[in-house]
Structure formats: structure tokens, C-alpha cells
Amino acid sequence: MTKVTLLEQLEAFSEKHTGDLLLPVQPQEDDENPPDRAATVYTPCLPELRSYARKAPFITHEIITGKDGAVQRPNGVKLMQSTAVVRTCFCVYHANEQEGKLALLTLMERMRIALLEEVVIGKQFKLDLDAGVETLVYPGNPNQTAVSPFYLGEMITTWHLPTVERKVPHGKNQIDHRGGGCPGAQGGRP
């Protein structure tokens, strides 16, 4: 459940560091002037993908890849190291294109700077600074801007996960000598 816990920690981290940033909400038919609100955070995606217009502003966190591998320390000891790559998507609404792009950049920068300042979240997940933090702001479609004033961006981060310990050390005999050769077996020799 480590990757699920990472997503939960990213959700809490996002809410903590962006919760005071109030952003515009698209007016609905029954509400011409809705109040601004903080971005809602979802993991791993929106509850209903097509509902982005009603959900903006929002942030989503999802695991896109993971890797487990042995890493050799200078003393010759090999340890398992696990990493996960997370895609964080940002979406904001704004009627004004220039203000919308600035609102998106502001939201993304809040997250980027907070991650680089803290590096470790949930006391167990460490941002891989060697892999860097990659951000991308999607260019607007001139034909779509007037119809759908939503601005999207994403951030890719790599995280070191807690080490998974082996339950049976390599090279140890797995036979339970008390029970006739099978772990958990009752009785003695046949």
C-alpha cells in the first residue's frame, strides 16, 4: 500500500500548501457569480473525467510508473530501492486568458516551491532531486479559449519509497526443522 500512501500524503501536502489560494470557478446556469475557492485535490483522478468544467480549479495526483531495484552501497552491501513517478495535473478556470494563465502558473509554482523546500513528505517519501521536477504548461488552443477558458498544466516528480525488507534473508534455510520439513507442519518425522 506504499504507493497509495504516497498519493494520500501528496493530497494532504497539496491541500496544506495551496488551500489558501482562492481561484475563480466557472459560473453555472443557476449561479452567475460563484465565490472563488481553493483547488480541490483528487487521487488518482477526477471522480468523473467529463466533470472537469464543474470541478475546476483542481489538482490530481496519480502514479504513472514504479521501479524496484538493487542498489549497491560503497561498502558492497546491496539494498532494494523503490521509486515511483507521479504525474500531478493542474486545472484552473478563468474568463480572462492572461489572468487564467497566471492563475495556473501561480498554483503550479506553489506546489513546486513547497516540494523543493520540504523534499520529504509523510516522514517516509523523499523527492528525488537528481531526477528533478519537470513542469509543463499546455499551450492554449486559440479556437477553444473563448469557448472553454480552462488552463492545464502538469508536473512530473520521482519519489523514493520506504525500503521493503525481505521476510526471509537470502541464503537462509527456509525449512522448519521442528515440523518435518514444511513450515507449519505438525508432528515429527514420517
3-state secondary structure string across 72-124: ECCCCCEEEEEEEEEEEEEEEECCCHHHHHHHHHHHHHHHHHHHHHHCEECCC
Taking alpha carbons only, the member of 106, 85, 113 closest to residue 151 is 106
CB 153 within 8 A of CB 104: yes
Question: What are the pLDDT digits (tens) for 10-30?
Answer: 999 999 999 999 999 988 777
Model pLDDT, residue 179: 45
In this prediction the pTM is: 0.81
Instruction: Name the pLDDT band for 106 (thresholds 50, 70, 90).
Output: very high
Q: Is the pLDDT of residue 75 over 70?
A: yes
The pLDDT mean for the chain works out to: 85
CB 134 within 8 A of CB 158: no
**106-107-113 Cα angle (round to 5):** 80
Question: What are the pLDDT digits (tens) for 136-176?
Answer: 998 765 554 434 689 999 999 999 999 877 777 665 555 44
Model pLDDT, residue 173: 53
The residues pairing with 84 across neighbouring beta strands, listed in sequence order, are 66, 159
Determine which helix (DSSP H) or strand (DSSP E) holds 69, and give its type and residue range.
Answer: strand 58-72
Other CB atoms within a 10 A radius of the CB of residue 126 amount to 16
Task: Specify the higher pLDDT residue, 62 or 183.
Answer: 62
Mean pLDDT (whole number) for 62-66: 97
The C-alpha torsion from 170 through 172 and 178 to 182, rounded to 10°, is: 50
Q: Which of 83-87, 142-146, 180-184 has the highest mean pLDDT?
A: 83-87
Domains of the chain (ranges plus CATH)? 2-161 (3.30.2000.30)
Q: Is the pLDDT of residue 111 over 60?
A: yes
| Nine cell digits for residue 7 | 498519493
